[in-house]
Amino acid sequence: MWISRTLRQGHEEVVKLLIQTGKVDVECKDTEYGQTPLSWAAGQGHEKVVKLLIQTGKVDVECKDTEYGRTPLSWAAGQGHEKVVKLLIQTGKVDVECKDTEYGRTPLSWAAGQGHEKVVKLLIQTGKVDVECKDTEYGRTPLSWAAGQGHEKVVKLLIQTGKVDVECKDTEYGRTPLSWAAGRGHEKVVKLLIQTGKVDVECKDTKYGQTPLLWAAQWGREEVVKLLIKTGKVDVDSKSQSGQTPLSWAAGQGREEVVKLLIQTGKVDVDSKDTKYGRTPLSWAAGQGHEEVVKLLIQTGKVDVECKDTEYGQTPLSWAAGQGHEKVVKLLIQTGKVDVECKDTKYGQTPLLWAAQWGREEVVKLLIKTGKVDVDSKSQSGQTPLSWAAGQGREEVVKLLIQTGKVDVDSKDTKYGRTPLSWAAGQGHEEVVKLLIQTGKVDVECKDTEYGQTPLSWAAGQGHEKVVKLLIQTGKVDVECKDTKYGQTPLLWAAEQGREEVVKLLIRTGEVDVDSKSQFGRTPLSWAAEQGHEEVVKLLIQTGKVDVDSKSQSGRTPLSWAAGQGHEEVVKLLHQAGGRVT
């Protein structure tokens, strides 16, 4: 271990002394990575130390470490230590083609990928390296690695050997060196590869079916896009496996300059739909909020601003509204060609519904200002913009909608039969509940059609103490109102869910029957006991009004329920209160 540490620092004189003692094992591997002193020295570029170790005649120049399976030559090549590489090659004992065990990469592969031009030269000059050797992990050649990393000089060297297949695809993605270079934006490498006259600029990778132009457009590689277009051999409207064109990718990613270049060719279908989602370039750009790209597309005069995608049936306006892209919404409205009331085909929601749902206040303002939106439009599930905004706690949007004076604040959705107040109360949106109550137009006792629960019932069961307070303070709620599905009062729901503070509030009203039974004969105490809600059990017992031995329809007492669930502390409380198992 100590010799390894010395070697990492490159202390030549100390290494000499240690070797001269004749007591050091120059092949001793460290316990962390399993590297020998030679491996460490080679990887760190300590040329003189490497010489000393080789001169002992006792080192295995091919010894692989146990962690990565790399030889000293592999480490030196990957780190670009030219002189060390020379020394190792000169021993005549190194396998210049030896692959590591982690990725199956040769020294040439490592040097090429890291851009170590001089090391690449040395390895090629041995005449023993396979310049086309693929690693086992990704199936990439040295040229593929060098091209993908933008190492122009290394790419030149490899091409000059005359032995590289410039079209060789890796096994992971099926991408050529040109594909990698184009996607990464390595303009000079792209030029070199094109100049060979041997690359197919239209070659698609096998995983995504993308051409080099598609990759370059996706990542906004403007100069590469120019180069590829200039070849005159690229299909500027080529589609990937998902049916996206270069324009589609560039628009969705907000690559404004690339969008310009593609449009200027005059050969792109600006309204082309991808096959996976059926979205046009305008749809993608609008949904991502790329204002300048949206402008460019509209200016072509060839886009259908109302075109719906095939997955959700949303228009560009619908996408922009839902994502809150105010400036894009403005642009689309200004065309005078959008239907602000157009519903998507999957959920039946208008742009206003989407904007309200996600709390896009500025977009909601814009849409209302058009004077063309139905502020009470219903989705397929019968939810209005107010219903969505209330349930999501979008206070400012709720205000805007109420201020129009055109919304039915008590409108029930058709799926669950819940009002905006029911949704807001169930989610604990206190400020929204306040706003709705202040309208004076909400029925605070309105039951939904699915469970027949009131807003108070929902709030109590979910433990929203402040909302429960607000509803009680109206003086219009029946704290004993049972839902129609289970016959449970707000107290029963609160007790079952262990909502201690809500239980306190309800008991303090003096209007609740603390022993009220559900359809199955379960009391608040029965539920709290079974669920192990110790504090709620205490509160109920302390009222002095509960029957601790009340039996459910199945004939079980609160103590029986608690014991069955193993709630020891609750069992103690009930036993102390005189409760029995049967």
Tell me how far apart the alpha carbons of residues 311 and 277 are, in angstroms, rounded to a whole number: 5
Tell me how far apart the alpha carbons of residues 10 and 6 are, in angstroms, rounded to a whole number: 7
Tallying the residues shown for the chain, one arrives at 582
Tell me how far apart the alpha carbons of residues 263 and 295 are, in angstroms, rounded to a whole number: 12
Count of domains for the chain:
1
Domain contains 241: no
Three-state DSSP class for residue 390 = helix
Tell me how far apart the alpha carbons of residues 473 and 476 are, in angstroms, rounded to a whole number: 8
190 burial level (CB within 10 Å; 0-12, 13-18, 19+): buried
Question: Residue 581 sits in a domain of what CATH number?
Answer: 1.25.40.20
For 350-362, write each residue's pLDDT tens digit: 999 999 999 999 9
65's tokens:
């470490």
Domain contains 543: yes
Which domain does 541 fall in, by range?
Answer: 515-582
Domain contains 266: no
Q: What is the mean pLDDT of each run of 10 residues along the chain (582 residues)?
A: 58 74 81 91 94 93 96 98 98 97 98 99 98 98 99 99 98 98 99 98 98 99 99 98 98 99 98 98 99 99 98 99 99 98 98 99 99 98 99 99 98 98 99 99 98 99 99 98 98 99 98 97 98 98 96 95 96 92 74
Domain contains 524: yes
Three-state DSSP class for residue 17 = helix
Domain contains 562: yes
Torsion of CA 526, 530, 536, 540, to 10 degrees: 20
Domain contains 187: no
478's tokens:
């029946």
Torsion of CA 46, 47, 53, 59, to 10 degrees: 90
* Residue 516 contacts residue 546 (beta carbons within 8 Å): no
Return the residue matching tokens 């590591």: 100
Nearest to 353 by CA among 372, 337, 374: 374
pLDDT score for 5: 59
Domain contains 199: no
Tell me how far apart the alpha carbons of residues 374 and 383 are, in angstroms, rounded to a whole number: 13
pTM equals: 0.91
556's tokens:
């079980």
Tell me how far apart the alpha carbons of residues 322 and 363 are, in angstroms, rounded to a whole number: 9
Tell me how far apart the alpha carbons of residues 19 and 32 are, in angstroms, rounded to a whole number: 23
pLDDT score for 115: 99
